[in-house]
Structure 1
Amino acid sequence: MRDQPILLVEDDPIMGESLLQRLQLEHCRCQWVRDLGQARAALHERLYPLVLSDIRLPDGDGESLLAAMMQRYGGCCPPVVFMTGYGSIAQAVRLVREGAWDYIQKPFDVDVLMQRIGEWLPLCGASPDAWFGVSPASRALEQLIARVAALDLPILIHGESGTGKEIVAQHIHARMCQDRIGKGVPPLVAINCAAISEGLLESELFGHE
């Protein structure tokens, strides 16, 4: 977990201070905010590998935060783990379906939470090597993605079925989100064009008068 930035959203001062100190002992760079507005402002400034949030907040709830993050970041939405003392199984299932990474019931063992964060973070912040490998062709693709993501132009990716076009699209979008924090990058929306009839494809994608 060393040097990993984490956004902690917790309005309870005792719980917040306790988690902040423990995360710092684990060498995480933790930013603690106390309400929904502060969380949105922090996420407007940068992407975090992990967001650890209470569900009940003074000016809203964690579900509203998750919905706003999914709308803004789309395919590169930071993983969100929720904590609550008032939850239910139905709520947990709903949050995970809506995109939450995990759901933790209070009170919890902080040692167990730290262990789980240590398991989550490598998955959240995997290095480019984990995705692209180290071959010359993989490195060339990684460099191409970085160049393409800097362009404010439509991008067409073509290739045989199964060669990873959607993964490349996801990484281009993720790179755009990282490079353009605060500039309102639209969400990544995947559409199965094969499921849309030829006569309706154009109007479905671009609208009609």
Structure 2
Amino acid sequence: MTVRKTAANLLLVDDDPSLLKLLGMRLTSEGFTVTTAESGEQALRLLMRNRVDLVISDLRMDEMDGIALFGEIQKLQPGMPVIILTAHGSIPDAVSATQQGVFSFLTKPVDRDALYKAIDEALSLSMPGSDEKWRESIVTRSPVMLRLLEQAKMVAQADVSVLITGQSGTGKEVLAQAIHAASPRAAKNFIAINCGALPEQLLESELFGHARGAFTGAVSQREGLFQAAAGGTLFLDEIGDMPLSLQVKLLRVLQERKVRPLGSNKDLEIDVRIISATHRDLPKVMAAGEFREDLYYRLNVLSLKLPALHERAEDIQLLARHFLRAAAERHKPFVRSFSSDAMKRLMAASWPGNVRQLVNVVEQCVALTTAPVISEALVSQALEGENSALPTFVEARLQFEVVYLRKLLQIAKGNVTQAARMAGRNRTEFYKLLSRHQLDANDFKQ
């Protein structure tokens, strides 16, 4: 028996229970942790709730075949490797599957060595190393976030520009720091600047530096952040808010790998990795003529999208306790926990401000509590203050969908068929809605 280097988590999907059981036993004997599903819909639910490193699926299945399942998996966890097995193998099927991004396509009866070889190759490309120190500041158990971190670990090794997108407050700078920590540049500086927080001339001076007398008040020479980050990483936060005229100068720096300080006639060589981030939809911003297309492609060599907090709801309790410990240590060591009702209130909140809002709510609760256990009343008070800002249309629609779906499932007592009928949707569409918002009908069954 081959001893596997990693105890990987495999998800097997097949509508034939006997074949599913047989393959599961074989892979378990090889040292893998195996979870099984008898349909595509069940597989998607398990994928949302469990850590999975690789999916192995049958091609021909009722309702949702292997290719359709692959498409849904990529929406939930982009980059998740999928191996497809079929007793009806054909060249067109194999070509179609691989063109869509399926890692491997094998025909039944599956050659054992070919399957193990495909599994090992897929895992060698997708699984991160065992050293987790690089991401110690990121607290999560969400399958979506864990998969994103696996991608970030791989991205860190490629010395190219990275664009991080996501709503405000999702932790884009924290992810950028983790990428830097996992990269060959980790021993050098990580320097961050918010491109939307400074006037244009000051931002230009901060980035590129200036010579003495370059402008009023420039009484001495000053090096810019490109020089300060030499050998390391420069994080350009809210890059979508950078003025157009400065975008041109940034593009020149990225193309030539040289920077010219304000008021100087001398170019300086730079060696720095660029990680940028934005909460804006840059393709739409480009269409409006507010962001340069050539700069976008320079920055977006590799991209990562952080999920909103409501898309990783299983992390709310974990994060709340983590932030509580940190805040209590700084301010009130006697504070120990949230009450049961307080935690339920946190779990039910919509969190339009994402992780940043959760931090603020926890900090406020710790500041105001006089007891070791934080009450539900304090949490509600903090949430009311945080939610005073009007959400965007997209945020409001997502909040409504979550509340509406929860209400349907409560009325139907977890019966998906009944809930879908009340919503005027078929079961497949309804399951997609539940998957999008990470809702499990089983949680609503009495």
**Bucket of the pairwise TM-score, normalised by the shorter protein:** 0.5 to 0.7
Give unmatched runs, 5+ long, in structure 1: 142-153, 184-209
Q: Distance in 1 between matches of 2:313 and 2:82?
A: 19
Match of 2:62 in 1: 58
**Aligned residue for 2:239?**
156
Q: How does 1:10-159 map to 2 (within 5 A)?
A: 10-46=14-50, 48-73=52-77, 76-127=78-129, 128=153, 131=157, 132-137=182-187, 140=190, 155-156=238-239
What is the TM-score normalised by the length of structure 2? 0.33
Change (3 A) 1:168 1:67: closer
Q: Is the 8 A contact 1:47 1:78 kept in 2?
A: no
8 Å CA contact 2:10–2:56 kept in 1: the answer is: yes
TM-align CA RMSD: 3.3
2:239 maps to amino acid: L
Task: For CA contacts below 8 A with separation 6 or more, give which structure has more relative contact order.
Answer: 1
Provide the rounded CA distance (Å) in 2 between the counterparts of 1:91 and 1:98. 11
Structure 2 spans left out of the alignment, 5+ residues: 130-152, 158-181, 192-236, 241-249, 258-272, 275-298, 315-446
Output the amino acid matched with 2:62: P
- The structural deviation recorded for 1:71 is 3.1
Q: 1:7 to 1:96 in 2, by over 3 A?
A: same
Instruction: Say which is worse superposed, 131-140 or 64-73, in terms of deviation.
Output: 131-140
1:33 maps to a residue whose letter is A
Structure 1 residue aligned with 2:145 = none
* Larger Rg computed on CA atoms: 2
Contact 1:79 1:101 in 2 (8 A): yes
2:300 match:
166
Distance 1:118 1:108, change over 3 A: same
Please name the residue that 1:7 is paired with: 11
Q: Percent identity?
A: 25
Q: Which letter maps to 1:12?
A: D
Number of aligned residue pairs:
166
SS at match of 1:99: coil
Contact 1:55 1:63 in 2 (8 A): yes
Change (3 A) 1:168 1:96: closer
CA offset digits 1:114-134 (Å, max 9, x no partner): 232122211111333772434
2:239 aligned counterpart, secondary structure: coil
Q: TM-score, normalised by structure 1?
A: 0.65
Answer yes or no: is the 8 Å Cα contact 1:45–1:181 preserved in 2: no
Residues 17 and 182 of structure 1: CA distance in aligned 2, closer, same or farther (over 3 Å)? farther
